[in-house]
Structure 1
C-alpha cells in the first residue's frame, strides 16, 4: 500500500490540496489503488506557532516511510524571507536528491493561450533540480556599502548533467517523442556549456532513434513564443528550466493549471502545482485547483496506477472543455466547485 505524505502548506495550497485529495478519494472509490494519505502539518502556521520549519526526524520519515509527497504551496508574508519555505521545499529537493524536475505543458483549449495561433502544444521540460546557481555557492563582500560585491556560482557536474539528460531521453522513448532539445547559454557560459553539450551528445548516442538539437536559452524563449509546436522534450539546467517552464505554462493557459514532479527515479518523488501560495487570493475560494489535481495524476502514474491517472487527466480535460473553470481561466466556478466536478467525473467514469 503506497503511503503519500500530503502537505497543504500555505495560502491557496490548503484550498487546492483539499480538492486534490477529494479527487484522490474518488480514485480510491473507483480504482482502489490503496493509497494511504498521511496529512502533515508543515508550513507557515506551524513555524509561527512552534518556531520549527522541518526537523531531521521529519525528513527521515518523509524519506523512509512514504512513497510520494504531494505538496500544495509554500510561502507566507508573515515569515520574513520565507525561511520555512526554503527549509522545507529546497530541503526536500536537495536532501532527497530530487534531481528531475518534470514540467509538462499541454494546451487544453486554444482560447487559453495568449498566442494567436498556438497549434497543438505538447511540451515536456526536464529541469536539473539540484545543481546550478540554486546550490547557493558564493557570497557577499562588503555588504551594505557602495563597494558591495556579490558572487553566485553556477555548479554543474558530469553526474548531474548525465542523469538529467538520460531521464529526458528515456521519457522521450517511453512517450513516443521524436526530439530532445538541449537548452544552454554555451556562448556566454562556455565552461558549463562544453560540459552540457559533451554529455548531452554522449547520452544521445545511446538513443539513435531520437532526433536532437541545441538552443541558446534566449533564442529558445523567443522560439517558444514564435513556434512552440516545434519542440517536444527540452532538457536544461536549474535556472533556465525554472524560467522556461513558467513561460511554457503561460503559453498553455497559465500557472494555475501547471503541474510538476520532482523525482529521484526509483527512490523519492514530490509532486506539486507550481503556482505558489498566492496569499493575495487565499481564502476567497477562487484559486485554480487544476495544477494540484494534475500533480496528483502525475503521482498516480508514478506509483504505477496509469489507468487511474488517465481518468483524472481526462476529467481535467472534460472540465476545461465544459467550461468548469475558475476565473483565471475565464470561468465563474469556485475552487471547490471545480474540484467536486472533477471528482464526480472520475467516480462516474463519464
Structure 2
C-alpha cells in the first residue's frame, strides 16, 4: 500500500468548509483504489491565528511542514488582516521555502458548466498555464522613503534570474512536448518592459532549439489576454511570469465558467520538498459559515494531487465524477442550485463509486 503524509491547512473562510469536504472525497478515492492511503494532520494557521499571535503561523512552521509529503490548502485571507500580511506571512513563504517554483493551473470547460463565451468552440477549451511562482514581479525588494510627506516614494523591484526563468520555461516546454497538440504560448511584454521581458524572450527563444517539435509563440500579454477570450480552444500550454501568469489564470477561470471552481498546484518538480495544492478561489468571507460554498475547486485540486503522485487514472475517474455531478441537479447556489457544500461533495463521491 502506498501511503502519503498530508499537511492540511484549511486556512480562512470557506476553506474550513471545502477542505473537509474534499478530504472526504480523497478518502473515497483512496478506498476505491484499494492500495492508497492518506494520513492527515490539520493545522489551524490562518488570519485568526495572526490576530491572536501576531504572525500567520509559528516560527517553526516550515520545519514542521517539511516532514510531510504533500500540503493541502484551502484559502488564505480575511477581513481585518491586510492581504499583504496574510499572503506574505503564510502562502508565499511556503511556496518559496519549498521551491514550489511552478504554479500549475488548468483551464478546461467542464460538462455541466456553461462558459460565458458565446463561441461554438467554448466547449473545447482545455489548456494549462505554467506560472513562474517564486520570483519575477512578486519580489519583496524595494521600499518606501519620506513616508507621510508630499515626497513619499515607493519603489518595487522585479527580479528575474537565469535559473528561475530557465527552470520554469523548461518545465513548460517539457509539458508541451508531452501534450497532444505540442503547442506553447509564452507571455511577454518586451515592447514596454525594457529589461526583464527581453531577458525572458531571449531565454525562451534559445530554449526553442532544444524542443524543435514544440510549436512555440511569444505573444504580448495584452494580446494574449484577448486571445484567451477570442481563441481559447487553440491554446495548449501557456507559460508566463509570476504576475502575468496570475492575471491570465484568473481570466482563464472566468472563461471556463467560474473562478470559484478553478484548481491549482504549487509544484516542486524535483520532489525534494513537499508540493502544495490549493484552489484559485479566495476565502469568500461573505458566504463563510453558511455551508453553501462550492467545493468543486478544492476537489478538482485534489484531483491534481492524485495526478502528481502518479495516480492519473484515479484522477481521471475523479474528474469524471465531478462532471457527472455538475450535470445533475445537485448544484450549490453559485451555479444556480440550492445544494449545500456537503451535498455536492457527497454527490461527487456517489458518482465516483459508480465509475
- TM-score, normalised to structure 2, is 0.94
Task: Report runs of 4+ in structure 1 exceeding 3 Å deviation.
Answer: 49-52
2:38 to 20, 31, 35: 35
Aligned equivalent of 1:58: 61
2:194 to 190, 194, 209: 190
Report how far residue 207 of structure 1 moved. Answer: 1.5
1:199 aligns with 2:203: yes
Change in CA separation of 1:17 and 1:147 when aligned onto 2, cut-off 3 Å: same
1:123 to 127, 147, 165: 127
Contact 2:27 2:38 (C-alpha < 8 Å) held by counterparts: no
SS in 2 for 1:125: strand
Report how far residue 307 of structure 1 moved. Answer: 2.2
Q: How many residues align?
A: 348
Change in CA separation of 1:201 and 1:237 when aligned onto 2, cut-off 3 Å: same
Instruction: Write the deviation string for residues 197-242 of structure 1: whole angstroms up to 9, x where unpaired.
Output: 1111222222111100011011111121111112111101001111
Provide the rounded CA distance (Å) in 2 between the counterparts of 1:191 and 1:48.
40
Any gaps of 5 or more consecutive residues in structure 2? none
SS in 1 for 2:283: coil
Aligned equivalent of 2:264: 260
Structure-to-structure mapping, 1:1-350, within 5 angstroms: 1-32=3-34, 33-63=36-66, 65-81=67-83, 83-109=85-111, 112-117=114-119, 118-265=122-269, 266-267=271-272, 268-346=274-352, 348-350=353-355
- TM-score, normalised to structure 1, is 0.95
Change in CA separation of 1:51 and 1:111 when aligned onto 2, cut-off 3 Å: closer
Instruction: Write the deviation string for residues 17-48 of structure 1: whole angstroms up to 9, x where unpaired.
Output: 01111101111221131221221221123233
Provide the rounded CA distance (Å) in 2 between the counterparts of 1:55 and 1:157.
30
Report how far residue 121 of structure 1 moved. Answer: 0.6
Provide the rounded CA distance (Å) in 2 between the counterparts of 1:176 and 1:79.
44
Provide the rounded CA distance (Å) in 1 between the counterparts of 2:190 and 2:20.
43
Contact 2:129 2:245 (C-alpha < 8 Å) held by counterparts: yes
Provide the rounded CA distance (Å) in 1 between the counterparts of 2:148 and 2:112.
49
